[in-house]
Amino acid sequence: MLNTNCEYLRPEIMDVLRAFDMEEGEFTHYFSYSGGKFLNVIEYGSEFYDFTDEFEPADDLEYKRFAKRFAKLAFYKTLSKTTGKNLPWGALTGIRPTKMAFAETAAGRDFEKLFKTLCVSEENIALVKRIMDVQKPYRGGGKSLYVSLPFCPTKCDYCSFITAPIQKTRQYVDRYVDCLIKEIESVRDIVRGVRSVYVGGGTPFVLSAEQLEKVYSAIDGVMPRGAEYTVEAGRPDVFSEEKLALSKKYGVTRICVNPQSFNDKTLEAIGRKHTAAQTYAAYEAAEKFGFDINIDLIAGLAEETCADFEKSVEAAISLNPANITVHTLSLKSGAKLKESVKRLHIDEISQMIALSRERLSAAGYAPYYLYRQKYQAGGLENVGWCKNGKECIYNIDVMEELGDNIAVGAGAISKRVFPAGERIERFDSPKDIPSYINCCAEKIVKRIEFFK
Ligand SMILES: C[S@@+](CC[C@H](N)C(=O)[O-])C[C@H]1O[C@@H](n2cnc3c(N)ncnc32)[C@H](O)[C@@H]1O
Ligand code: SF4
């Protein structure tokens, strides 16, 4: 439980506590500001820790920004001292570190200096620099289209995405697809000029070939061919030649084949209901069609050791995909696993992440985008890696918020990015499928207004 005399600092502080897996500790926090001095006093385990930082803010906005920064830093230093641990991102809790680094640079400041103040590790500063280099050519930004298909064969235990097992939602799929088609047609004028499309899930390939073709055909009707076009086909157990051929026919350029792990024991433990052999088969089938392929892995699953994870990284590399995305397990509410896993093995997961960076770099992969999520073990991150300049533009544009994202379907959040990314407006749709179907017509009208 956190007691603080400054409520607006609570979410920031909680982010730091969560990164140390210490949400439930007894902390009392006193904050005060006077004459350019920010004071943070933390009472923890009958000890007091006090920090004074000097800074003269130019306005209220800057005052709040620095109050948050110093409070986080005070908690980070206290916890680092009492636990004996340094976290790789230090007191930097934001979900878009690269966006922050670009913003600092654009403001004429040295992002490295800021990151060092926040106790970010040398390795992470170097990683951010590598990503910034890869992203430079894309910084102008572009519009993107997202199409949500939140249906899955079964629900994986660790997953907190808004998606349900198809057995529970099958009766809605046809109506859902009809709504989606109307939504796609309604954004015809808005999507003009988009440079990437992403059909995401869930697991889009859980739809029948007929349903999938309806969605593809609607997208084809509003999009000129030639944009990057990803389908998060998803779990290897739903792949088929027919659906891959259909994807090719409609101009899909990139397919996700997601094992998460190449260890059958782990896959069983997390309720994935497929095997590593099925991943190899799905990969081979997708490769024959000439798609760029992305492989998703997660570090920290079930009881995996670093050696288990290493096996998955090596297996992914041996397939030579254009992209490999390494996620750190994030346990949000909504995931079945949340109740069963009390403490994550943060040190071991950090080693897994370090290993993935070393192996992927040695295999010729470059990191091209990075994001963090709340509830991520050790406050670690997700990194997308690419080979031979095959970055996924969609991931860069959306994670860095470089351009408008026109998003349709249940739970989809459209974003309007105003010049220089300074202001961002969001437009969302209901997450549950019956409500989405119910208000689709109304959302169509409102989304057009939103993008005017
Ligand atoms: C929206 S999911 C869809 C992927 C697809 N349905 C599949 O599972 O193959 C995108 C990716 O997020 C990652 N992911 C899902 N739940 C996660 C969690 N709790 N922690 C970390 N990564 C997660 C997985 O790597 C997954 O492939
Ligand atoms: S990880 Fe993928 S397949 Fe599993 S429930 Fe989540 S979205 Fe569905």
DSSP per-residue letters across 96-149: -HHHHHHHHHHTT--HHHHHHHTT--HHHHHHHHHHHHHHGGGTT---EEEEEE
* Fold equal for 1-85 and 140-443: no
Question: Which percentage of the chain shows pLDDT scores above 90?
Answer: 84
pLDDT in tens, 289-339: 999 999 999 999 988 999 999 999 999 999 999 999 999 998 776 565 554
Strands 151-152 and 424-428, bridge-based pairing: unpaired
258 lines ligand 1 (CB under 6 A): yes
The number of the ligand 2 atom at minimal distance from the alpha carbon of 155 is 5
pLDDT in tens, 391-450: 999 999 999 999 999 999 999 999 999 986 679 999 999 999 999 999 999 999 999 999
pLDDT in tens, 197-248: 999 989 999 999 999 999 999 999 999 889 999 999 989 999 999 999 999 9
Q: How far is the CA of 243 from the centre of ligand 2 (A)?
A: 19
Residue 361 contacts by C-beta under 8 Å, 6 or more apart in sequence? none
User: Which residue has its alpha carbon closest to ligand 2 atom 6?
Assistant: 159
User: Is the dihedral angle over the CA atoms 375, 381, 385, 390 positive or is it negative?
Assistant: positive
Among 163, 329, 336, residue to substitute to test ligand 2 (most atoms within 8 Å of Cβ): 163
The number of the ligand 2 atom at minimal distance from the alpha carbon of 159 is 6
pLDDT of residue 1: 84
User: Which residue has its alpha carbon closest to ligand 1 atom 17?
Assistant: 159
Alpha carbons within 13 angstroms on the beta-carbon side of residue 73 total 19
pLDDT of residue 338: 52
* CA end-to-end span of the chain: 45
Say whether pLDDT at 161 is over 70: yes
Q: How far is the CA of 341 from the centre of ligand 2 (A)?
A: 18
Q: Work out the pLDDT band at 158, boundaries 50, 70, 90.
A: confident
Q: How far is the CA of 431 from the centre of ligand 2 (A)?
A: 15
296 lines ligand 1 (CB under 6 A): yes
The average pLDDT across 182-191 equals 96
The number of the ligand 2 atom at minimal distance from the alpha carbon of 272 is 4
pLDDT of residue 339: 46
327 lines ligand 1 (CB under 6 A): yes
Q: How far is the CA of 344 from the centre of ligand 1 (A)?
A: 18
Share of the chain residues as helix, strand and coil, in percent rounded to the nearest 5: 45, 20, 35
Say whether pLDDT at 344 is over 70: no
Is 140-443 assigned to CATH 3.30.750.200? yes
Among 146, 206, 232, 392, residue to substitute to test ligand 1 (most atoms within 8 Å of Cβ): 232
359: burial class by Cβ within 10 Å (0-12, 13-18, 19+)?
Answer: middle
Q: How far is the CA of 159 from the centre of ligand 1 (A)?
A: 6
Say whether pLDDT at 341 is over 60: no
What does pTM read for this prediction?
0.94
User: Which residue has its alpha carbon closest to ligand 1 atom 5?
Assistant: 234
How far is Cα 274 from Cα 47, in angstroms, rounded to an integer? Answer: 51
Considering the chain, what is the average pLDDT of its residues? Answer: 93
257 lines ligand 1 (CB under 6 A): no
User: Which residue has its alpha carbon closest to ligand 2 atom 2?
Assistant: 202
pLDDT of residue 343: 52
Say whether pLDDT at 347 is over 70: yes
pLDDT of residue 342: 43
Q: Provide the CATH number for the domain formed by 1-85 in this structure.
A: 3.30.160
Show the ligand 2 pocket: residues with CB < 6 angstroms.
Answer: 152, 155-156, 159, 161, 163, 201-203, 234-235
User: Which residue has its alpha carbon closest to ligand 2 atom 4?
Assistant: 156
CB–CB of 290/390 below 8 Å? no
Say whether pLDDT at 12 is over 60: yes
Question: Which percentage of the chain shows pLDDT scores above 70?
Answer: 97
Q: Work out the pLDDT band at 253, boundaries 50, 70, 90.
A: very high
User: Which residue has its alpha carbon closest to ligand 2 atom 7?
Assistant: 202
397 lines ligand 1 (CB under 6 A): no
HEC secondary structure over 366-418: EEEEEECCCCEHHHCCEEEEECCCCCCHHHHHHHCCCCCEEEECCCCEEEEEC
Name the least confident of 22-31, 58-67, 95-104, 117-126.
22-31
The number of the ligand 2 atom at minimal distance from the alpha carbon of 152 is 8
Q: List the beta bridge partners of residue 2.
A: 27
Q: How far is the CA of 298 from the centre of ligand 1 (A)?
A: 8
pLDDT of residue 336: 59
The average pLDDT across 40-51 equals 95
Cα-atom radius of gyration of the chain, to the nearest Å? 23
Q: How far is the CA of 296 from the centre of ligand 1 (A)?
A: 7
Three-state SS at 312: helix
Ranges of each domain in the chain? 1-85, 140-443
The number of the ligand 2 atom at minimal distance from the alpha carbon of 153 is 3
Among 151, 152, 205, residue to substitute to test ligand 2 (most atoms within 8 Å of Cβ): 152
Name the least confident of 9-23, 85-99, 272-286, 380-394.
9-23
Q: Please name which ligand lies nearest the alpha carbon of 375.
A: 1
Q: How far is the CA of 203 from the centre of ligand 2 (A)?
A: 7
pLDDT of residue 408: 98
Q: For the chain, how many residues are written?
A: 452
261 lines ligand 1 (CB under 6 A): no
The structure tokens 């005399």 sit at 5
pLDDT of residue 337: 58
